[in-house]
Structure formats: structure tokens, C-alpha cells
């Protein structure tokens, strides 16, 4: 059965004090999906969430819920609930009363509230902490109370505003799994806001990459990673070497002074393009066997692999490899056709994907260390 | 002796000396006078005579309670409104609330006479319209007005202080969970602003219940508040110091009991409120 759109944003623009925060945003959110709004701070992702919650009205454009326009419907009448960035638990109420808040406001009978709160506590593994004051809970427990409090109201859509940002790495990973489990268990649509690309990739059915109030790309995590639409997306999601290239014909591209087979087509012959090669897709070989030749300028050991910077005709590439190399080594690079991704030129071309500043930074740091007596 | 502790004591010593001379010693003198007769012999007669002044006590408490309630009702929305404004407007309003407090409160009270008097500002204006004159000065209403006017900043400031520290997302969370404006107020804003209310009520009620100047200037001599009673006896000369001290002592104990009960009702929210 085809799933229906539960939330639709139609041509939405919002400006604060003359500054454009959202610029002609269009987005359909499918019932039951886990969708993530991903972007740097100031990209408009939280604003988008607040529009759906009802804390903010668009200057132009419509917000639709189950096909009906809900512009002007106040937040308390909308069938959505929010998990706030710093949880916003009520400090004057204990855990039980926090979770019961929405049900009490709706004047549900006491027996139903009791049953529901117990069910929620079980769902988030907090059974036994009913009487605790929220400020005696750990960050992770507060997070769970916030989840329980929101879900107790049976929202059709749950909005999550960077809910894991305040947790430490280990706890964040656990909560990611748990949130995903809860979402699958309850079948509620989750709209999740984050600036953490890894979080977005691991949790989401679909990812919406945003920048400067506009959607840059919408797709599955695999689409976003493997087929970024422009240099911004390629750079924001993972690491990318982005070089200028020229499409000679379908499946054939020239960059860094060499010609390569690739899997992309549909460009005009001779069209200027951005070429993306992920650092983990490059093999380091003997200089004479390489398709490109260069000199290693810096090496960093990251545990799983080495991150090395290779200077190829003045452009610095990042390569991730499990083999050890040393600064000053001459190396060859071997790139498979399926490791090459071609993008049309965009406003972001030339801004990202060169690691020269990165390597300089490392050089600079190591210089500084050497100067120490 | 620990050097640091000694240093701290040294810094605090002027204030300790000050409090000893001007707070502790007068309190001891007051207690001494209330428990002795004119010859300095111990007696409880002054205290047991307090019953004679129960009317003054009653009126004082009633007026102070009404004035405190009015101040609360006026100040609460004002303080909330202030927190909604941008920072520069908040600062400006804050100043507007503060500035009258820099003026001597006797002068501020006096200025109300020129407004409320039978030939004052309001009645002059009314007579131009062919109305009045209204009886404004020397009424209980004028006394309560004076109390409200003089003490309202002490209500606004602690409320504003608590409300401006309130995390705005708590109100959004309440709305998100289905609360309309009134429910938001009742279930979140009101309970969380309680420490500010308790500070404000204390700081308005205590000076109101013990005032004598306001009632004399704005109430004529018709309403004898407990503060007036104390002043009256005190002015009669040393013979009456004992009874004046006894009334003061009882008033003080009553206020302390009120404060204790109020702070108990406020629960254990130590943070936010400013008890001066």
C-alpha cells in the first residue's frame, strides 16, 4: 500500500529581522518514516521543525497536515509533539507528573493516566523512578523522560530537536539505537533535526540536507553519501576530495591531467563538472602503477586507518588507508571507475574538497611541536 | 588561626559592628522595655494589655493584605510582560520601575496629597467638568493606594527576576503537550514563579503592615494603624516606651510567624527568589 504524506511543506519562506531563514522550502514527509533534517547551524532546520510544531508561522507558503492546511492552528491543537533540545522537563514536577502532563491537560481519567505512564516508563526503561525529581536524573534519564512525556500523547508525528546533542558519545550511540527501536515499534513519523552527519546516516530512512534556508538534497542515507548532488552535500557528509573536471563523453572524464573511466552519463561533451572521490575509495600503489602520482605531505594515525594527505600537482587529496606511509614518500593513486562520482557545477563549486588548508594546519601543528625544547 | 578565615572576618567586621550597634542592641532594648514597667521591674502586663489594640492590629493586617493582593495582581502581568520584550526595552522598563525607588518615599507619599486633596489635581479637573468634588483623601482607599504605590517595585522586581530566568522552552513544552494559554499559566508559569511571589508578598506586606506615615498623610487621623499606635505612644514620652515596645515586639513576632508560614508554603524552591 502506498504510504500517504503526513506533513507537506509548500513553498515556505521565513525571514527574521530581514534575514532569510527559509527560502522557498518544499518537502513532503511520508507517514511512518524516520526523516532527518541535517545541516550546519543556521541552515534553517530548527526553524522548519518549529513551523511544523506550530511555534512559528511562515511568512509565505503553507504547512499541510494529513492534506489539510494548518497555518494558524496553535501548537496546542496540533497532533504533533516535540522533544526539545535541552529536554524542557518541568522542574516542579516529578517523573510521573512530567509524563502525565499532556494526559492531565486533556483531562483523561486517573486510571488511564496511571496505566499510560506505567507503559511509557517501561518503554523507556525507567520503571521505578516515578517519584524522582527530574533534576536528580542523569542526562540520559532526562532524555528518556522527555521521550516518554511526548509519546504518551499518541502524536502522529514526533519532532526531535537535536535531542542527543547534550549526551556524551557512548550514551548518544545507545540512544540512537533506542530511538530507532521506539520509532519502529510505535510506527510514528519521526522528524529529527541534527548537525551530526553520522547520526543522520545511521538513524534515518531519508535525510534532508539543508544549507542557507534551502534543501540541498533529499534521499536515503546511501543516496546522499554515494550520489551527492553538489559540493556542499559531498563535503558535509563524510570526507570528500572534490576536483575540477571535464566530461569528455558519457562514462569518460578528465581531471588532474588524466582521463578516467566512470559510471556517470548525461552531461554535455566538454562540460565542466565537479568530481568527487571519497578518501576510502582510493588505493595507494607503486608510483609507476598509479593513475595519478603525488607526494605524501602528512600522515595521521586514527586507529582504524591512517589519514594521509597526498599532494598531486598542487591539489591535496585525503586518502584513508590501512597501510603505513611516511611524509615525503612518492606514491601512485589507483581509482576504480565506481569510486568516481560526477556532479554538475553549483554555487558551492570550488569552496570545498581541497585538503590543502587541512594539511597546512597539521604541518603547522607539528612545526610548533618540534620547536618545543 | 587560618589566615583566610581571619581575613574574611576582618572584611566583615565593619558590618558586624554596625549590626550589633544598630540592630541587635535596639532589639534587646525593645525586649527589655516590653517586659518591664516604668520602674524597671519585670512584668508581663504590657504584653497582656495588647488586646486593647486588637482593632489597630486587625485594620493594619487587613489593609496590608488588601494592598499586597492588589500589588500582586498588578505586578504579575507587568513582570511577565517585561520578560516578553527585547533586552533594551526590558532595561528601560526596569529603570522606570526603579527610578521612583531612588526618591524618598515620604516625598512620594506627599505627592499623592496634592493629587487626591479636596482641592487637588483630580478634584480641580472634575470641577472644571462640573463634577465632584470626590472624597478621595483621608479614606481607607487612599491609604491602600499609598501602600500599593510605594511598595509595588518590591513586588515587580522579584517576579521579574524569577520569570526572566524561566526557560522559555518550558512554556513551549506545555503548549506542545496541549495547554492553552490559561493552562500554561496555571500548570507551569504560576508554580514556577512561586518563589518570586513569596519574596514579593513578603517585601510588600511587611512594610505595609507596619507603616504609619502613609496612613497619617493619606488617611487623615481616622484610621489608626498599628504603626500609628506605636508612634503615638512613643511621642507621648518615656512613660509610654514600655507599651510601645510591647506592641512592636508582638508585631515583629507576628510578622516572623507569617514569613515562616509563607516560606513553608513555598516549598523548597530556594532558587530565584530574592528575600531581602
CA atoms within a 13 Å half-sphere pointing along the CA-CB vector of A238:
23
Residues listed for chain A? 373
Percent of chain B's residues with pLDDT above 90: 49
- What is the C-alpha to C-alpha distance for residues B110 and A45, in angstroms, rounded to an integer? 58
Is A363's pLDDT higher than 70? no
Check if B270 contacts A (Cβ < 8 Å).
Answer: no
What confidence tier does A227 reach under pLDDT thresholds 50, 70, 90? very high
Mutate to test the interface with B, among A53, A79, A91 (most CBs of B within 10 A): A91
In CATH, the number for domain A5-226 is: 3.40.50.300
CB nearest B177 (choices: A91, A92, A101): A101
- Contact of A328 with A278, CB cutoff 8 Å: no
- Of A88-92, A252-256, B1-5, the least confident: B1-5
In CATH, the number for domain B56-259 is: 1.10.3720.10
Q: What is the pLDDT of residues A150-198, one digit of tens each?
A: 999 999 999 999 999 888 888 899 999 999 999 999 999 999 999 999 9
Is A356's pLDDT higher than 90? no
Location of C-alpha cell 516606651 = B241
For A96-107, what is the mean pLDDT? Answer: 95
- Which pLDDT value is given to residue A353? 76
For B89-98, what is the mean pLDDT? Answer: 90
Burial of B34 (0-12, 13-18, 19+ CB in 10 A): buried
- Of A92-106, B56-70, B146-160, B222-236, the least confident: B222-236
Is A214's pLDDT higher than 80? yes
What confidence tier does A2 reach under pLDDT thresholds 50, 70, 90? low
Rounded (10°) CA dihedral B210, B213, B217, B218: -30
Shortest distance between the Cα of B183 and any Cα of chain A, in A, equals 7
Strands (E), chain A: 5-16, 19-30, 34-38, 60-65, 68-69, 80-83, 157-161, 189-194, 206-211, 214-219, 241-249, 252-255, 258-261, 271-277, 282-285, 292-301, 306-312, 315-321, 330-335, 340-344
Q: How many CB atoms lie within 10 A of CB A188?
A: 21
Is A124's pLDDT higher than 80? yes
Percent of chain B's residues with pLDDT above 70: 95
Check if B87 contacts A (Cβ < 8 Å).
Answer: no
Q: What is the pLDDT of residues B263-275, one digit of tens each?
A: 787 654 444 444 4
Shortest distance between the Cα of B193 and any Cα of chain A, in A, equals 10
Q: How many CB atoms lie within 10 A of CB B242?
A: 22
- Which pLDDT value is given to residue A359? 45
- Of A106-120, A345-359, B124-138, B227-241, the least confident: A345-359
- Which pLDDT value is given to residue B272? 40
For B150-160, what is the mean pLDDT? Answer: 93
- Which pLDDT value is given to residue A369? 39
- Which pLDDT value is given to residue B266? 63
- What is the C-alpha to C-alpha distance for residues A193 and B155, in angstroms, rounded to an integer? 41
- When the pLDDT of each residue in chain A is averaged and rounded to a whole number, the result is 90
The domain limits of chain A are 5-226, 231-371
A357 vs B46, higher pLDDT: B46
CATH 1.10.3720.10 fits A231-371, yes or no: no
- Which pLDDT value is given to residue B11? 86
- Which pLDDT value is given to residue A260? 93
Residues on chain B touching A74 (C-beta within 8 angstroms):
175, 180
- What is the C-alpha to C-alpha distance for residues A81 and A352, in angstroms, rounded to an integer? 37
Q: What is the pLDDT of residues A228-280, one digit of tens each?
A: 999 999 999 988 999 999 999 999 999 998 999 999 988 998 899 999 999 99
- What is the C-alpha to C-alpha distance for residues B125 and B110, in angstroms, rounded to an integer? 19
For B245-257, what is the mean pLDDT? Answer: 91
For B61-73, what is the mean pLDDT? Answer: 95
Residues on chain A touching B177 (C-beta within 8 angstroms):
76, 81, 101-102, 105, 149-150, 153
- Which pLDDT value is given to residue B175? 95
- Which pLDDT value is given to residue B40? 83
Q: What is the pLDDT of residues A304-350, one digit of tens each?
A: 899 999 999 888 999 999 988 999 999 999 999 999 999 999 988 88
- Residues A217-228 as b/e (b if ≥16 CB within 10 A, e otherwise) read bbbebeebbebb
- Which pLDDT value is given to residue A357? 63
Q: Name the residue among A349, A20, A49 with its Cα closest to residue A213.
A: A20
Residues listed for chain B? 276
Q: What is the ipTM of this complex?
A: 0.82
Burial of A79 (0-12, 13-18, 19+ CB in 10 A): middle
Shortest distance between the Cα of B68 and any Cα of chain A, in A, equals 25
- Which pLDDT value is given to residue A280? 93
- Tell me whether residues A81 and B177 touch, CB distance under 8 A: yes
- What is the C-alpha to C-alpha distance for residues A175 and A166, in angstroms, rounded to an integer? 12
- What is the C-alpha to C-alpha distance for residues A151 and A73, in angstroms, rounded to an integer? 21
The domain limits of chain B are 56-259
- Which pLDDT value is given to residue A38? 96
Amino acid at each position: 500500500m502506498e504510504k500517504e504524506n503526513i506533513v507537506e511543506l509548500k513553498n515556505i519562506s521565513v525571514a527574521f529581522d530581514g534575514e532569510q531563514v527559509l527560502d522557498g522550502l518544499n518537502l513532503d514527509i511520508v507517514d511512518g518514516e524516520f526523516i532527518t533534517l541535517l545541516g550546519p547551524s543556521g541552515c534553517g532546520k530548527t526553524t522548519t521543525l518549529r513551523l511544523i510544531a506550530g511555534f512559528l508561522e511562515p511568512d509565505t507558503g503553507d504547512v499541510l497536515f494529513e492534506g489539510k492546511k494548518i497555518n494558524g492552528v496553535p501548537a496546542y491543537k496540533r497532533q504533533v509533539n516535540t522533544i526539545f533540545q535541552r529536554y524542557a522537563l518541568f522542574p516542579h514536577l516529578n517523573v510521573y507528573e512530567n509524563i502525565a502532563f499532556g494526559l492531565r491537560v486533556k483531562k483523561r481519567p486517573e486510571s488511564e493516566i496511571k496505566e499510560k505512564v506505567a507503559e511509557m516508563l517501561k518503554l523507556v526503561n525507567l520503571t521505578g523512578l516515578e517519584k524522582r525529581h527530574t533534576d536528580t536524573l542523569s542526562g540520559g534519564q532526562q532524555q528518556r523522560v522527555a521521550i516518554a512525556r511526548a509519546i504518551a500523547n499518541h502524536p502522529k508525528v514526533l519532532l526531535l530537536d537535536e535531542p542527543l546533542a547534550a549526551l556524551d558519545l557512548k550514551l548518544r550511540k545507545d540512544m540512537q539505537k533506542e530511538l530507532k527501536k521506539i520509532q519502529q515499534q510505535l510506527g510514528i513519523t519521526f522528524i529529527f533535526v541534527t548537525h551530526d552527519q553520522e547520526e543522520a546516516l545511521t538513524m534515518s530512512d531519508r535525510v534532508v540536507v539543508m544549507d542557507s534556508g534551502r534543501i540541498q538534497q533529499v534521499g536515503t542515507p546511501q543516496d546522499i553519501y554515494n550520489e551527492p548532488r553538489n559540493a556542499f552535500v559531498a563535503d558535509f557528509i563524510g570526507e570528500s576530495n572534490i576536483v575540477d573536471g571535464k566530461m569528455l563523453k558519457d562514462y569518460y572524464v578528465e581531471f588532474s591531467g588524466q582521463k578516467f573511466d566512470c559510471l556517470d552519463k548525461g552531461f554535455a561533451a566538454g562540460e565542466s563538472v565537479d568530481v568527487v572521490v571519497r578518501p576510502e575509495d582510493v588505493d595507494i600503489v607503486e608510483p609507476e602503477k598509479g593513475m595519478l602520482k603525488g607526494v605524501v605531505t602528512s600522515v595521521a594515525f586514527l586507529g582504524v586507518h591512517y589519514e594521509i594527505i597526498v599532494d598531486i600537482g598542487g591539489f591535496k587529496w585525503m586518502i584513508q588507508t590501512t597501510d603505513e606511509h611516511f611524509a615525503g614518500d612518492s606514491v601512485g593513486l589507483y581509482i576504480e571507475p565506481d569510486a568516481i562520482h560526477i556532479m554538475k557545477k553549483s554555487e558551492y563549486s570550488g569552496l570545498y574538497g581541497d585538503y590543502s588548508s587541512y594539511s597546512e594546519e597539521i604541518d603547522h601543528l607539528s612545526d610548533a611541536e618540534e620547536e618545543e625544547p | 588561626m587560618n589566615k583566610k578565615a581571619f581575613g574574611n572576618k576582618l572584611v566583615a567586621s565593619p558590618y558586624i559592628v554596625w549590626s550589633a550597634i544598630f540592630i541587635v542592641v535596639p532589639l534587646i532594648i525593645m525586649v527589655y522595655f516590653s517586659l518591664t514597667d516604668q520602674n524597671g521591674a519585670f512584668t508581663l502586663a504590657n504584653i497582656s494589655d495588647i488586646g486593647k489594640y486588637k482593632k489597630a492590629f486587625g485594620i493594619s493586617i487587613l489593609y496590608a493584605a488588601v494592598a499586597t493582593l492588589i500589588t500582586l495582581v498588578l505586578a504579575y502581568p507587568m513582570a511577565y510582560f517585561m520578560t516578553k520584550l527585547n533586552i533594551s526595552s526590558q532595561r528601560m522598563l526596569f529603570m522606570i520601575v526603579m527610578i521612583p525607588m531612588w526618591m524618598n518615599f515620604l516625598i512620594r507619599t506627599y505627592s499623592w496629597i496634592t493629587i487626591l486633596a479636596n482641592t487637588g489635581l483630580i478634584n480641580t479637573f472634575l470641577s472644571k467638568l462640573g463634577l465632584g468634588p470626590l472624597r478621595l483623601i483621608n479614606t481607607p482607599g487612599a491609604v491602600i493606594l499609598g501602600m500599593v504605590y510605594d511598595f509595588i517595585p518590591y513586588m515587580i522586581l522579584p517576579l521579574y527576576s524569577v520569570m526572566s530566568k524561566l526557560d522559555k522552552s518550558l512554556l513551549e513544552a506545555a503548549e506542545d503537550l496541549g495547554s492553552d494559554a490559561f493552562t500554561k499559566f496555571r500548570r507551569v508559569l504560576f508554580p514556577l514563579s512561586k518563589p518570586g511571589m513569596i519574596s514579593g508578598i513578603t517585601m510588600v506586606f511587611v512594610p505595609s503592615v507596619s507603616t504609619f506615615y502613609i496612613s497619617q498623610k493619606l488617611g487623615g487621623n481616622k484610621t489608626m494603624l498599628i504603626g500609628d499606635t506605636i508612634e503615638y505612644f512613643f511621642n507621648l514620652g518615656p512613660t509610654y516606651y514600655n507599651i510601645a515596645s510591647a506592641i512592636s515586639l508582638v508585631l515583629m513576632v507576628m510578622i516572623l510567624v507569617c514569613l515562616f508560614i509563607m516560606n513553608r508554603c513555598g516549598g523548597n524552591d530556594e532558587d530565584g527568589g530574592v528575600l531581602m
